[in-house]
Amino acid sequence: MSATIKDLARETGLTAATISAYFNGASVRPYNKEKIERAIDKLGYIRNDYARALRTHRSMTVGVLIPEFASMFATQLVTEIEEALRLKRYGIIICDCRSNPSREREAVRFLQSKTVDGIIVIPATDSASSLSSAIQKKLPVVALDRYTESRDISHVIVSNRKAGREAVQKMLSEGKKKIAVIHGDENLFTARERLAGYRDAMERAGEGPGIAVPGGNSVQGGYEAAKKLLSGEPGLQGIFATNYEMSIGAAIALKETGKTIGDDFAFTGFDSVQMLPVLCPGMHMVVQPIRELGMVAAETLLAMINGGPIRNIVLDCKVI
């Protein structure tokens, strides 16, 4: 016969209320937490989440929608989200939407069929249409990294325009004037904001709108864009790549062409794990607060699940 809450209480000498608080993610004294976890292992206790969901109308599960598993940025965010939710006894279901709104819509419906308590999504587009079924059912939703047109969901983003502006201003302050940008898909809020930040800095410095080349949000796209700039723009003094994958591609191109980053040429990329300087020593980086993004997204969603308000939160990046 399976162990029960009462068995755990008897084994630990704690009340059933304390055991329940532990499973519900409430604050439990560290010593009591250790006693409960030892008892769980000893008795082989397995919580019946299905029965609990019927009783409490909570599945203790959150859906996480990402553009693609190949994205280093997205997978890092999932790691931080999972850790923050795990501490509150929540599990996650991850769906790879391949940056496709139709797949995103299907994933939302799938998650609803699994009775998740809420959804965290890195949206495929600025439109929230693929989230409509969740919004209509008043399922709590947090959009992460990208701002959508919906006012019915929360958003957790970074100050993309400010980050882009400060990244370019740093290169300008080092005496570089002819600086190009390798940018992402302008249909996406994040890409538009970073490109706008680049243009802000260039225009304030009297350098006009600058030189902008699309990089397709990919390593290959960043590589090809950098090659095009390095061969077609005489006197180029710097490149700013506006996401991690394009930054890797541009760094490879710079290495192949023998560019030395420093006094003669500047390179700034977006990085969240600080691995790019290994490939391209001397470069600058816009470092996104990955841990904080994931944690704040999880905390915002949990607050909404418990009746909290819709919020729009903007976090700062660091240029180093």
pLDDT tens digit string along 49-82? 665 665 667 899 999 999 988 888 899 999 999 9
Q: Are 122 and 145 in contact (CB under 8 A)?
A: yes
Average pLDDT, the chain: 93
Q: Would you identify the CATH topology of the domain 5-47?
A: 434 Repressor (Amino-terminal Domain) (1.10.260)
> 160-287, what's its fold?
Rossmann fold (3.40.50)
Residues forming CATH 1.10.260.40 domain(s) in the chain:
5-47
Q: State the span(s) of the chain assigned CATH 3.40.50.2300.
A: 59-152+290-319, 160-287
Calculate mean pLDDT across residues 93-106: 95
Tokens standing for residue 196: 């706008």
* Whole-number percent of the chain with pLDDT over 70: 96
- Please state the CATH superfamily assignment of the domain spanning residues 59-152+290-319 in this structure: Response regulator (3.40.50.2300)
Could you tell me which residues come within 8 angstroms of residue 17 by beta carbon, excluding any fewer than 6 positions away? none
pLDDT of residue 96: 96
- In this prediction, residues 33-55 reach a mean pLDDT of 79
List Cα–Cα distances, 176 to 59, 237, 239, 242, 264, in angstroms: 55, 6, 10, 18, 8
Q: pTM to 2 decimals? A: 0.84
User: How much is the pLDDT for 4?
Assistant: 87
The distance from CA 49 to its chain's CA centroid, rounded to whole angstroms, is: 28
Q: What is the rounded average pLDDT of the residues 115-134?
A: 95
